[in-house]
Amino acid sequence: MQPLHIASLPKAELHMHFESSLRPATASYWATRYGLPLPQEGPFQGLSDFVVAYEGARDLVRSLGDVRRAASELVRDAAAQGVVWSEVHLIPPTYAGRLGPEEGIVEAVLSGFADGSSQAAAEGARPSAAGLIIGINRGLGLEAAERSLALAMRYAGEGVVGLGLAGDEARFSASPFADVFRRGREAGLSALPHGGEGAGAESVRTCVEDLGATRICHGVRAVEDPTVVALLRERGVSLDVCPHSNVSLRVSPSLEQHQLIGLLEAKVKVTLNSDGPLFSGATVNEEYEAAHMKMGIRPDGLARIARTSIEVSACPSPLRQEALRGVEEWLEKQSAFADSDCVTAD
Protein backbone atom coordinates (compact mmCIF):
# COMPACT_ATOMS: atom_id res chain seq x y z
CA MET A 1 0.00 0.00 0.00
CA GLN A 2 1.56 3.27 -1.16
CA PRO A 3 0.93 6.67 0.48
CA LEU A 4 -1.26 9.01 -1.54
CA HIS A 5 -1.18 12.79 -1.95
CA ILE A 6 -4.22 13.34 0.25
CA ALA A 7 -3.74 17.12 0.52
CA SER A 8 -4.69 17.48 -3.14
CA LEU A 9 -7.99 15.62 -2.61
CA PRO A 10 -10.79 18.20 -2.13
CA LYS A 11 -12.87 17.38 0.91
CA ALA A 12 -15.13 18.84 3.57
CA GLU A 13 -14.39 18.37 7.26
CA LEU A 14 -17.67 18.15 9.12
CA HIS A 15 -16.80 17.06 12.65
CA MET A 16 -14.36 19.28 14.47
CA HIS A 17 -14.63 21.22 17.70
CA PHE A 18 -13.56 24.83 17.94
CA GLU A 19 -11.45 24.59 21.11
CA SER A 20 -9.85 21.25 20.28
CA SER A 21 -8.78 22.52 16.86
CA LEU A 22 -6.42 25.15 18.26
CA ARG A 23 -2.98 25.16 16.74
CA PRO A 24 -0.57 23.58 19.24
CA ALA A 25 1.70 26.61 18.90
CA THR A 26 -1.19 28.97 19.64
CA ALA A 27 -2.29 26.89 22.64
CA SER A 28 1.26 26.93 23.97
CA TYR A 29 1.55 30.70 23.47
CA TRP A 30 -1.70 31.37 25.29
CA ALA A 31 -0.80 28.99 28.13
CA THR A 32 2.40 30.95 28.68
CA ARG A 33 0.75 34.33 28.24
CA TYR A 34 -2.09 33.60 30.64
CA GLY A 35 -0.17 31.45 33.10
CA LEU A 36 -2.34 28.40 32.46
CA PRO A 37 -1.43 24.72 31.97
CA LEU A 38 -1.51 23.13 28.57
CA PRO A 39 -4.33 20.59 28.33
CA GLN A 40 -3.47 16.92 28.40
CA GLU A 41 -3.15 15.09 25.09
CA GLY A 42 -4.62 11.64 24.42
CA PRO A 43 -4.96 8.78 24.84
CA PHE A 44 -7.54 9.19 27.58
CA GLN A 45 -8.84 6.78 30.19
CA GLY A 46 -12.42 7.74 29.39
CA LEU A 47 -14.84 10.58 28.76
CA SER A 48 -14.31 12.23 32.16
CA ASP A 49 -10.57 12.31 31.57
CA PHE A 50 -11.14 13.89 28.17
CA VAL A 51 -13.61 16.48 29.50
CA VAL A 52 -10.96 17.82 31.88
CA ALA A 53 -8.56 18.27 28.96
CA TYR A 54 -11.25 19.88 26.79
CA GLU A 55 -12.17 22.37 29.47
CA GLY A 56 -8.48 23.19 29.78
CA ALA A 57 -8.39 24.07 26.09
CA ARG A 58 -11.48 26.25 26.45
CA ASP A 59 -9.89 28.06 29.39
CA LEU A 60 -7.04 29.15 27.10
CA VAL A 61 -9.46 31.25 25.03
CA ARG A 62 -9.58 34.45 27.11
CA SER A 63 -10.94 37.14 24.78
CA LEU A 64 -12.97 37.70 21.64
CA GLY A 65 -9.69 38.51 19.91
CA ASP A 66 -8.51 35.01 20.81
CA VAL A 67 -11.74 33.62 19.37
CA ARG A 68 -11.20 35.45 16.07
CA ARG A 69 -7.57 34.35 15.89
CA ALA A 70 -8.40 30.69 16.51
CA ALA A 71 -11.22 30.74 13.94
CA SER A 72 -8.99 32.37 11.32
CA GLU A 73 -6.17 29.89 11.90
CA LEU A 74 -8.61 27.01 11.67
CA VAL A 75 -9.71 27.97 8.16
CA ARG A 76 -6.15 28.66 7.00
CA ASP A 77 -5.02 25.28 8.29
CA ALA A 78 -8.00 23.62 6.63
CA ALA A 79 -7.13 25.20 3.29
CA ALA A 80 -3.60 23.81 3.53
CA GLN A 81 -5.14 20.35 3.99
CA GLY A 82 -7.24 20.57 0.85
CA VAL A 83 -10.40 21.16 2.90
CA VAL A 84 -12.78 23.36 0.95
CA TRP A 85 -15.46 23.54 3.64
CA SER A 86 -15.37 23.05 7.43
CA GLU A 87 -18.23 22.73 9.88
CA VAL A 88 -17.21 23.55 13.42
CA HIS A 89 -18.97 22.74 16.71
CA LEU A 90 -19.18 25.40 19.43
CA ILE A 91 -21.32 25.57 22.59
CA PRO A 92 -21.37 29.27 23.62
CA PRO A 93 -23.16 28.71 26.98
CA THR A 94 -20.15 26.73 28.23
CA TYR A 95 -18.20 30.00 28.38
CA ALA A 96 -20.60 31.05 31.17
CA GLY A 97 -20.52 34.70 30.15
CA ARG A 98 -16.79 35.25 30.72
CA LEU A 99 -16.31 36.50 27.14
CA GLY A 100 -19.41 38.66 27.25
CA PRO A 101 -22.72 38.04 25.48
CA GLU A 102 -22.96 34.77 23.57
CA GLU A 103 -23.84 36.67 20.39
CA GLY A 104 -20.38 38.26 20.58
CA ILE A 105 -18.72 34.84 20.62
CA VAL A 106 -20.68 33.69 17.57
CA GLU A 107 -19.90 36.88 15.68
CA ALA A 108 -16.20 36.64 16.57
CA VAL A 109 -16.06 33.07 15.22
CA LEU A 110 -17.81 34.01 11.99
CA SER A 111 -15.57 37.05 11.58
CA GLY A 112 -12.52 34.83 12.11
CA PHE A 113 -13.77 32.34 9.53
CA ALA A 114 -14.12 35.12 6.94
CA ASP A 115 -10.67 36.46 7.75
CA GLY A 116 -9.11 33.00 7.47
CA SER A 117 -10.78 32.41 4.12
CA SER A 118 -9.45 35.72 2.78
CA GLN A 119 -5.95 35.04 4.07
CA ALA A 120 -5.92 31.53 2.60
CA ALA A 121 -6.90 32.95 -0.79
CA ALA A 122 -4.17 35.57 -0.53
CA GLU A 123 -1.65 32.83 0.24
CA GLY A 124 -2.64 30.97 -2.93
CA ALA A 125 -4.33 28.03 -1.19
CA ARG A 126 -7.38 26.20 -2.49
CA PRO A 127 -10.55 28.20 -1.68
CA SER A 128 -11.81 27.29 1.78
CA ALA A 129 -14.66 28.50 3.97
CA ALA A 130 -16.45 27.39 7.13
CA GLY A 131 -19.83 27.22 8.82
CA LEU A 132 -20.67 27.07 12.50
CA ILE A 133 -22.69 24.43 14.34
CA ILE A 134 -24.16 25.82 17.56
CA GLY A 135 -24.15 23.05 20.12
CA ILE A 136 -26.17 21.96 23.12
CA ASN A 137 -24.52 20.31 26.10
CA ARG A 138 -26.69 17.41 27.24
CA GLY A 139 -25.71 17.97 30.85
CA LEU A 140 -26.70 21.65 31.02
CA GLY A 141 -30.41 21.01 30.62
CA LEU A 142 -33.21 22.52 28.57
CA GLU A 143 -32.71 26.16 29.60
CA ALA A 144 -29.20 26.20 28.12
CA ALA A 145 -30.51 24.25 25.12
CA GLU A 146 -33.08 26.97 24.46
CA ARG A 147 -30.32 29.58 24.52
CA SER A 148 -28.30 27.62 21.99
CA LEU A 149 -31.37 27.21 19.78
CA ALA A 150 -32.11 30.94 19.93
CA LEU A 151 -28.53 31.73 18.95
CA ALA A 152 -28.54 29.24 16.10
CA MET A 153 -31.85 30.55 14.77
CA ARG A 154 -30.67 34.15 14.99
CA TYR A 155 -27.63 33.44 12.82
CA ALA A 156 -29.17 30.82 10.53
CA GLY A 157 -28.25 31.68 6.97
CA GLU A 158 -25.53 34.04 8.20
CA GLY A 159 -22.86 31.43 8.88
CA VAL A 160 -24.59 29.07 11.32
CA VAL A 161 -25.55 25.87 9.52
CA GLY A 162 -26.75 23.45 12.17
CA LEU A 163 -27.70 22.54 15.70
CA GLY A 164 -25.48 20.10 17.56
CA LEU A 165 -25.68 18.01 20.72
CA ALA A 166 -22.67 16.89 22.77
CA GLY A 167 -21.83 15.73 26.27
CA ASP A 168 -22.23 12.51 28.21
CA GLU A 169 -24.69 10.48 26.13
CA ALA A 170 -24.45 7.53 28.53
CA ARG A 171 -26.00 9.65 31.33
CA PHE A 172 -28.18 12.04 29.32
CA SER A 173 -30.49 10.80 26.57
CA ALA A 174 -31.11 12.87 23.47
CA SER A 175 -34.88 12.41 23.76
CA PRO A 176 -35.58 15.44 26.02
CA PHE A 177 -34.21 17.70 23.30
CA ALA A 178 -36.57 16.45 20.58
CA ASP A 179 -38.74 19.58 20.52
CA VAL A 180 -35.69 21.86 20.49
CA PHE A 181 -34.38 20.06 17.42
CA ARG A 182 -37.79 20.07 15.77
CA ARG A 183 -37.91 23.85 15.98
CA GLY A 184 -34.34 24.04 14.76
CA ARG A 185 -35.15 21.95 11.70
CA GLU A 186 -38.18 24.16 10.99
CA ALA A 187 -35.84 27.15 11.02
CA GLY A 188 -33.63 25.52 8.38
CA LEU A 189 -30.93 24.18 10.72
CA SER A 190 -29.57 20.69 10.17
CA ALA A 191 -29.78 18.32 13.14
CA LEU A 192 -26.17 17.28 13.79
CA PRO A 193 -25.95 15.55 17.20
CA HIS A 194 -23.25 13.37 18.69
CA GLY A 195 -24.23 9.76 19.26
CA GLY A 196 -22.85 6.25 19.28
CA GLU A 197 -19.58 7.16 20.97
CA GLY A 198 -20.06 7.09 24.75
CA ALA A 199 -23.22 5.00 24.41
CA GLY A 200 -24.30 2.23 22.08
CA ALA A 201 -26.45 1.76 19.01
CA GLU A 202 -29.68 2.79 20.74
CA SER A 203 -28.23 6.28 21.20
CA VAL A 204 -27.77 6.47 17.43
CA ARG A 205 -31.35 5.35 16.86
CA THR A 206 -32.62 8.06 19.22
CA CYS A 207 -30.70 10.74 17.34
CA VAL A 208 -32.27 9.64 14.07
CA GLU A 209 -35.82 8.98 15.21
CA ASP A 210 -36.29 11.64 17.92
CA LEU A 211 -34.03 14.45 16.72
CA GLY A 212 -34.36 13.97 12.96
CA ALA A 213 -30.59 13.79 12.50
CA THR A 214 -29.33 13.93 8.93
CA ARG A 215 -25.77 13.37 10.10
CA ILE A 216 -24.45 11.96 13.35
CA CYS A 217 -21.11 12.83 14.88
CA HIS A 218 -19.27 9.54 15.44
CA GLY A 219 -22.14 7.02 15.33
CA VAL A 220 -19.65 4.17 15.07
CA ARG A 221 -21.29 2.03 17.73
CA ALA A 222 -24.26 1.63 15.40
CA VAL A 223 -22.45 -1.52 14.23
CA GLU A 224 -23.51 -3.16 17.51
CA ASP A 225 -27.09 -3.44 16.20
CA PRO A 226 -27.82 -4.47 12.58
CA THR A 227 -31.27 -2.86 12.74
CA VAL A 228 -29.69 0.52 13.49
CA VAL A 229 -27.23 0.06 10.64
CA ALA A 230 -30.19 -0.67 8.37
CA LEU A 231 -31.96 2.45 9.65
CA LEU A 232 -28.94 4.62 8.79
CA ARG A 233 -28.66 3.09 5.35
CA GLU A 234 -32.37 3.34 4.54
CA ARG A 235 -32.65 6.98 5.64
CA GLY A 236 -29.36 8.02 4.09
CA VAL A 237 -27.99 9.32 7.40
CA SER A 238 -24.27 10.02 7.22
CA LEU A 239 -21.81 9.40 10.06
CA ASP A 240 -19.04 11.95 10.66
CA VAL A 241 -16.35 9.49 11.76
CA CYS A 242 -13.11 10.35 13.58
CA PRO A 243 -10.93 7.21 13.86
CA HIS A 244 -7.94 8.62 15.77
CA SER A 245 -10.25 10.27 18.29
CA ASN A 246 -12.18 7.01 18.73
CA VAL A 247 -8.96 5.14 19.47
CA SER A 248 -7.78 7.91 21.81
CA LEU A 249 -11.02 7.67 23.84
CA ARG A 250 -11.07 3.85 23.67
CA VAL A 251 -14.24 3.71 21.59
CA SER A 252 -12.27 1.63 19.07
CA PRO A 253 -9.48 -0.83 19.92
CA SER A 254 -7.18 0.31 17.10
CA LEU A 255 -7.17 1.93 13.69
CA GLU A 256 -6.80 -1.47 12.05
CA GLN A 257 -9.93 -2.71 13.85
CA HIS A 258 -11.97 0.47 13.57
CA GLN A 259 -15.74 0.25 13.01
CA LEU A 260 -15.39 2.32 9.83
CA ILE A 261 -14.60 -0.84 7.88
CA GLY A 262 -17.85 -2.53 8.88
CA LEU A 263 -19.85 0.62 8.19
CA LEU A 264 -18.46 0.84 4.68
CA GLU A 265 -19.19 -2.80 4.04
CA ALA A 266 -22.78 -2.18 5.20
CA LYS A 267 -23.12 0.69 2.67
CA VAL A 268 -23.59 3.38 5.33
CA LYS A 269 -22.60 6.90 4.30
CA VAL A 270 -19.48 8.07 6.15
CA THR A 271 -17.10 11.01 6.19
CA LEU A 272 -13.64 11.30 7.73
CA ASN A 273 -12.84 14.06 10.21
CA SER A 274 -10.30 15.00 12.88
CA ASP A 275 -12.71 15.85 15.76
CA GLY A 276 -9.93 17.59 17.73
CA PRO A 277 -6.34 17.37 16.47
CA LEU A 278 -5.09 19.17 19.59
CA PHE A 279 -5.97 16.01 21.53
CA SER A 280 -5.84 13.16 19.01
CA GLY A 281 -2.71 14.46 17.27
CA ALA A 282 -4.18 13.70 13.84
CA THR A 283 -5.31 16.05 11.10
CA VAL A 284 -8.06 15.18 8.65
CA ASN A 285 -5.43 14.26 6.07
CA GLU A 286 -3.89 11.85 8.53
CA GLU A 287 -7.33 10.31 8.99
CA TYR A 288 -7.51 9.67 5.25
CA GLU A 289 -3.97 8.33 5.22
CA ALA A 290 -4.77 5.94 8.08
CA ALA A 291 -7.91 4.77 6.29
CA HIS A 292 -5.74 3.91 3.30
CA MET A 293 -2.64 2.53 4.98
CA LYS A 294 -4.14 0.84 8.05
CA MET A 295 -7.67 -0.06 6.95
CA GLY A 296 -6.96 -0.90 3.33
CA ILE A 297 -9.37 1.56 1.74
CA ARG A 298 -8.47 2.08 -1.90
CA PRO A 299 -8.20 5.47 -3.63
CA ASP A 300 -11.69 5.06 -5.12
CA GLY A 301 -13.03 4.48 -1.61
CA LEU A 302 -11.29 7.59 -0.30
CA ALA A 303 -12.67 9.60 -3.21
CA ARG A 304 -16.16 8.31 -2.39
CA ILE A 305 -15.76 9.43 1.24
CA ALA A 306 -14.52 12.86 0.14
CA ARG A 307 -17.39 13.17 -2.33
CA THR A 308 -19.88 12.26 0.39
CA SER A 309 -18.38 14.86 2.72
CA ILE A 310 -19.07 17.58 0.19
CA GLU A 311 -22.52 16.32 -0.79
CA VAL A 312 -23.89 16.05 2.77
CA SER A 313 -22.42 19.37 3.91
CA ALA A 314 -23.75 22.91 3.80
CA CYS A 315 -20.96 23.87 1.42
CA PRO A 316 -22.26 26.65 -0.83
CA SER A 317 -22.32 26.50 -4.60
CA PRO A 318 -20.23 27.08 -6.76
CA LEU A 319 -17.56 26.00 -4.24
CA ARG A 320 -19.38 22.66 -3.94
CA GLN A 321 -19.40 22.00 -7.67
CA GLU A 322 -15.75 22.96 -8.06
CA ALA A 323 -14.80 20.63 -5.21
CA LEU A 324 -16.78 17.71 -6.67
CA ARG A 325 -15.00 18.16 -9.99
CA GLY A 326 -11.73 18.23 -8.11
CA VAL A 327 -12.49 14.88 -6.46
CA GLU A 328 -12.97 13.26 -9.87
CA GLU A 329 -9.78 14.85 -11.18
CA TRP A 330 -7.87 13.55 -8.13
CA LEU A 331 -9.17 10.04 -8.67
CA GLU A 332 -8.22 10.06 -12.34
CA LYS A 333 -4.62 10.79 -11.35
CA GLN A 334 -4.36 7.82 -9.00
CA SER A 335 -2.91 4.51 -10.05
CA ALA A 336 -5.42 1.94 -11.28
CA PHE A 337 -3.69 -0.65 -9.11
CA ALA A 338 -5.53 -1.70 -5.92
CA ASP A 339 -4.97 -4.64 -3.60
CA SER A 340 -7.64 -7.29 -4.10
CA ASP A 341 -8.40 -7.45 -0.38
CA CYS A 342 -8.94 -3.72 0.10
CA VAL A 343 -12.22 -2.23 1.22
CA THR A 344 -14.11 0.16 -1.03
CA ALA A 345 -16.74 2.70 -0.07
CA ASP A 346 -18.98 1.96 -3.08
Q: Judge residue 63's burial from the number of C-beta atoms within 10 Å of its C-beta, 0-12 exposed, 13-18 middle, 19 or more buried.
A: middle
Q: What angle do CA 164, 170, 174 make, to 5 degrees?
A: 40
Contact 104, 92 (CB under 8 A): no
Is 13 among the catalytic positions?
Answer: no
The verdict on whether omega for the bond into residue 43 sits within 30 degrees of 0, i.e. cis, is yes
3-class SS of residue 220? helix
The torsion region of residue 206 among left (phi > 0), alpha (psi -120 to 50) and beta comes to alpha
Q: What is the DSSP code (8-state) at residue 256?
A: T
What's at 66, amino acid-wise? D
Catalytic residue among 19, 197, 286, 287: 197
- Cα 301 off chain centre by: 20
Contact 7, 79 (CB under 8 A): no
Burial 213-230 (b: 16+ CB within 10 A, else e): bbbbbbbbbbbebeebbe
68 closest CA partner among 128, 10, 118, 122:
118
3-class SS of residue 141? helix
Write down the H helix ranges in 81-136: 102-122
Q: Which residues contact 112 (CB under 8 A, 6 or more apart)?
A: 67, 68, 69, 70, 71, 72, 74, 75
Q: State the catalytic residues.
A: 197
